[in-house]
Chains A and B, each alone.
Chain A
Amino acid sequence: MANVRHTSLGTALRYRGREGMWTWILHRATGLGILLFLIIHVIDTAIIIYWPGEYDVALGIYKHPVFRFAELLIFFSVLYHAVNGLRIVIQDFWPYVMQRQRQLVWATAVIVVLAMLPVTWIMLAPIFGLAQEPGTARSEVRCSEARNAHAPACVNPEGEVAL
Chain B
Amino acid sequence: MSAPAQVAERGTPRRGGGYAKPRKAGGGNFELISWFFMRLSGLLLIFLALYHLVWWNLIVGVAHLDSQVVIERWNNPFWRLFNVALVTFAMLHGLNGARYSIEDYVRRPGRQVAVKAVVYTLVLGSLLVAVFALLTFDPAVLVNR
Contact = CB atoms under 8 A, between A and B. Distances in A.
Contacts of B33: none
Interface stretch (A15-23, A47-55, A102-110): A47-55
Majority DSSP secondary structure for residues of B touching A = helix
Interface string A25-59: 00010011011001100110110110011011001
Interface in B33-70: 39, 42-43, 45-46, 49-50, 53, 57-70
A136 to B, nearest CB: 7
A45 B126 contact: no
Majority DSSP secondary structure for residues of A touching B = helix
B97 interface: yes
Contacts, number: 164
Interface string B63-106: 11111111100100000000000010011001101100100000
A39 B58 CA distance: 22
A163 interface: no
A34 B66 CA distance: 23
A103 to B, nearest CB: 18
B66 to A, nearest CB: 4
A82 to B, nearest CB: 5
A2 interface: yes
B95 to A, nearest CB: 8
